[in-house]
Structure 1
């Protein structure tokens, strides 16, 4: 009914339902654009 993901920074908190993971996939482009726009609005970058 859900999966537990271990991220590349080794945190593994949270349980994600299949419905939520599916929604992330469906809305990927929209969410990514909003994320990048938010960074730009605050004058920051993803670059370290």
Structure 2
């Protein structure tokens, strides 16, 4: 019974780690088009 619970917890931990790595390195959000390089009135200059 203990080994079943340990295996389930290990697989859950591996799943969270893989999801984190995929979101961090593979699935990137597109860059925001509101950069402060132009005269868009963002007030940072």
- TM class, shorter-length: 0.3 to 0.5
Please identify which structure carries the higher helix content.
Answer: 2
TM-score of the two chains, using structure 1 as the length reference? 0.36
TM-score of the two chains, using structure 2 as the length reference? 0.38
Greater RCO, CA 8 A, separation 6+: 1
Please identify which structure carries the higher strand content.
Answer: 1
